[in-house]
């Protein structure tokens, strides 16, 4: 695995389809923070819990001027069915399917030996600079409260960065 993107680095642009087949670009969220919530595979309990937490906290994230998206290597069709089964209506679930794992690779969190990404949260500021980056144990659901607290209370001002 390549080295994970670091705090203070500019995030690579991405163009990736969501569960509706619509393209998502970082530039779509211009002027907002972005939470990239990577999960290994759809249709697993920890991943379902992780994406359900994003959905449940959409109002909190909006109030913090943050767009949250889920990303995994699953296809658009799989993401469509999965979102429907979970009742996800607002959270965009992005399909890093083809080229397989390209986005995860660009962010340094693709697990070559497994063919999927690490479980990770990466927060970008309004200028697409990484301000929070954390890999979680593969079977552990990330604490959305940790990210909300960071964004709400500890987000650095320009030129300041926090290592996680």
Question: Residue 140 domain-assigned?
Answer: yes
Domain with 107, as residue range(s), is: 15-154
pLDDT in tens, 101-157: 999 999 999 999 999 999 999 999 999 999 999 999 999 999 999 999 999 975 444
93 SS3 class = strand
> Considering its fold, how many domains does the chain have in total?
1
pLDDT in tens, 27-85: 989 899 999 999 999 999 999 999 999 999 999 999 999 999 999 999 999 999 999 99
- Write down the residue that tokens 């690490």 correspond to: 118
CATH code of the domain containing 63:
3.40.30.10
- CA dist 81 and 107 (Å) reads 26
- Write down the residue that tokens 């920890």 correspond to: 46
Question: Residue 7 domain-assigned?
Answer: no
Contact 34, 147 (CB under 8 A): no
What's the pTM?
A: 0.91
């Amino acid at each position: 695995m390549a080295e994970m993107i670091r705090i203070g680095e500019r995030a690579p642009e991405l163009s990736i389809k969501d569960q509706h087949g619509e393209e998502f670009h970082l530039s779509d969220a211009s002027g907002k923070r972005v939470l990239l919530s990577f999960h290994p595979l759809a249709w697993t309990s920890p991943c379902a819990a992780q994406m359900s937490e994003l959905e449940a906290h959409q109002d909190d994230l909006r109030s913090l001027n943050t767009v949250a998206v889920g990303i995994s290597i699953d296809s658009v069709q799989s993401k469509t069915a999965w979102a429907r089964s979970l009742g996800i209506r607002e959270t965009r679930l992005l399909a890093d399917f083809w080229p397989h794992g390209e986005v995860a690779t660009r962010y340094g969190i693709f697990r070559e030996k497994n063919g999927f990404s690490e479980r990770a949260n990466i927060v970008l500021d309004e200028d697409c600079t990484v301000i929070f980056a954390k890999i979680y144990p593969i079977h552990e659901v990330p604490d959305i409260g940790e990210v909300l607290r960071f964004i709400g209370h500890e987000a650095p001002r320009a030129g300041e960065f926090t290592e996680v």
